[in-house]
Amino acid sequence: MSGNIELLNTTLAAAKAADRAALIAYLPAGFPTVDGGIEAVKAVVAGGADVVEVGLPHSDPVLDGPVIQTADDIALRGGVRIADVMRTVREAYEATGVPILVMTYWNPIDRYGVERFTAELAEAGGAGCILPDLPVQESALWREHADKHGLATVFVVAPSSQDARLATITAAGSGFVYAASLMGVTGTRASVGAQAQDLVGRTRATADLPVCVGLGVSNAAQAAEVAGFADGVIVGSAFVKAMLDAPDEAAGLAAVRSLAGELAAGVRKR
């Protein structure tokens, strides 16, 4: 079975044709439970998310700040496994029909087996993977299997990335490029920063791939600001924090659906 890279491509293209940015939501699998995580994905899509990243919880998430680390810890203590991540992708995709990617560090894939992981992700209806710590020069094996199974390979670029490096990364990637708005870890911030707009411009100069910005966006105003220069707005910590702060799961689901609605309105005010 082929993965859903084409669904991802057409979804991003449709947002562009509508003269807006796409809203991309991030939620960890297994948080607060596997079933609860699946319901959370459904809730953000119901609120207006165009694409969802399902995080594969990791004990040493080098890109993620304390909010997502807390959620990952809850998921790992709950016994989440890669099979649960695949189940989350499958059930979320079947319920919503939107592109579902997995965001994961390289070590779990390496231990699980690249062929096994890509085959199972494609069979689950996944659209691809975001791989923040896989160096592009070491990605040939992954890309071979991802291409074979119809999966996008999304690399992360940062404000420190030089133009030559950006060109190398965008030439190897597919789906979109994940532009980290600033140097640091994930988390909500008072401002997204001018570095993000410069990075998007420099990245676009190297390829035709959509460029989506993450790290720091937490409200409609910030989403509108980023949507003014990016193809997609990625929000993670704000959704996770809404779940963590809720008194119970039902309240958490209502909170993330409401936040998705606010952010979806924001990307339409670019």
Q: Which residues are catalytic?
A: 53, 64
What is the DSSP annotation of 195-233? HHHHHHHHHHTT-SS-EEEESS--SHHHHHHHHTT-SEE
Quick one: tokens of 263?
């952010």
Phi then psi dihedrals of residue 129, to 5 deg: -135, 145
Looking at this protein, which amino acid is placed at residue 109? I
- CA-CA distance, 180 to 200, in Å (whole number)? 9
Q: What is the 3-state secondary structure (H, E, C) of 80-143?
A: CCHHHHHHHHHHHHHHHCCCEEEECCHHHHHHHCHHHHHHHHHHCCCCEEECCCCCHHHCHHHH
What's the Cα-to-Cα distance from 207 to each of 7, 38, 42, 168, 177, rounded to whole Å?
20, 34, 32, 10, 10
Q: Distance between terminal CA atoms of the chain?
A: 37
| Contact indicator for 210, 192 with CB cutoff of 8 Å | no
| Contact indicator for 170, 128 with CB cutoff of 8 Å | no
What's the Cα-to-Cα distance from 103 to each of 39, 49, 108, rounded to whole Å?
18, 16, 11
